[in-house]
């Protein structure tokens, strides 16, 4: 998704540059400004999605490790030790 947004942003910025070059003689820069603003918004959205995914990836392994250290799921060694004590 973020790669698609980056590509759309680059395309929009290229269109903005083209519109600005066409409107250089007439002075009507509305089309160029529109594509420039759309490109900037897409670039920001892609950057936010990228940072959110990196944050989510870094939190995932640590949350799994914390669950194991609490003893919520006994390991195979603990289960065998408990079975030997019961008889």
Q: What is the DSSP string of 11-74?
A: HHHHHHHHHHHHTTTT---HHHHHHHHHHHHHHHHHHHHHHHHHHHHHHHHHHHHHHHHTTSS-
CA dist list (Å): 11 to 19, 21, 48, 53, 56: 12, 15, 19, 24, 28
Distance of alpha carbon 1 from alpha carbon 54, whole angstroms? 14
Region 68-86: mean pLDDT is 52
Tens digit of each residue's pLDDT (9 = 90 or more) over 47-73: 999 888 788 788 876 555 555 555 555
Tens digit of each residue's pLDDT (9 = 90 or more) over 31-54: 889 999 999 999 999 999 988 878
Please indicate whether residue 51 or residue 87 has the higher confidence score (pLDDT): 51
């Amino acid at each position: 998704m973020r790669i698609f947004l980056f590509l759309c942003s680059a395309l929009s910025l290229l269109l903005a540059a083209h519109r600005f070059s066409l409107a250089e003689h007439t002075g009507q820069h509305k089309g160029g400004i529109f594509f420039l603003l759309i490109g900037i918004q897409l670039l920001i959205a892609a950057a936010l999605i990228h940072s959110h995914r990196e944050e989510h990836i870094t939190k995932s392994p640590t949350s799994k490790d914390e669950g194991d250290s609490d003893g919520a799921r006994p390991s195979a060694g603990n289960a065998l030790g408990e079975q030997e004590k019961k008889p």
